[in-house]
């Protein structure tokens, strides 16, 4: 698979929490945890489960930084 995104972070799924239509998938990447909101249908199609290896693919035109 080829992607235009340049931020691909390999990790391990630590939690898949389904809601009514949307699921939150938490992926541990090193010491950080990235949470993605995707459809329940996508979770089922990809067969996502805790313990699986997966990658967080981040594609964004804006990244904002905030400090106190």
What is each CA distance from 51 to 14, 34, 37, in whole angstroms? 6, 15, 18
Summarize pLDDT for 32-56 with one digit per residue, the tens.
999 999 999 999 999 999 999 999 9
pLDDT at 12 over 90: yes
Among 3.40.50.300, 2.40.50.100, 3.30.1780.10, 1.10.3720.10, name the CATH number for the domain at 7-58: 2.40.50.100
pTM of the model: 0.84
**Residue 44 confidence (pLDDT):** 98
Two tokens, residue 43: 């979770």
Q: How far apart are the first and last CA of the chain?
A: 40
**Residue 42 confidence (pLDDT):** 97
**Residue 6 confidence (pLDDT):** 83
**Where exactly are the structural domains of the chain?**
7-58
Summarize pLDDT for 57-68 with one digit per residue, the tens.
988 777 787 898
């Amino acid at each position: 698979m080829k992607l235009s995104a340049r931020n691909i972070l390999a990790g391990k799924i630590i939690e898949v929490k389904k809601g009514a239509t949307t699921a939150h998938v938490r992926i541990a990447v090193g010491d950080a945890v990235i949470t993605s909101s995707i459809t329940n249908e996508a979770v089922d199609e990809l067969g996502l489960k805790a313990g699986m290896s997966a990658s967080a693919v981040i594609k964004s035109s804006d990244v904002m930084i905030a400090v106190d």
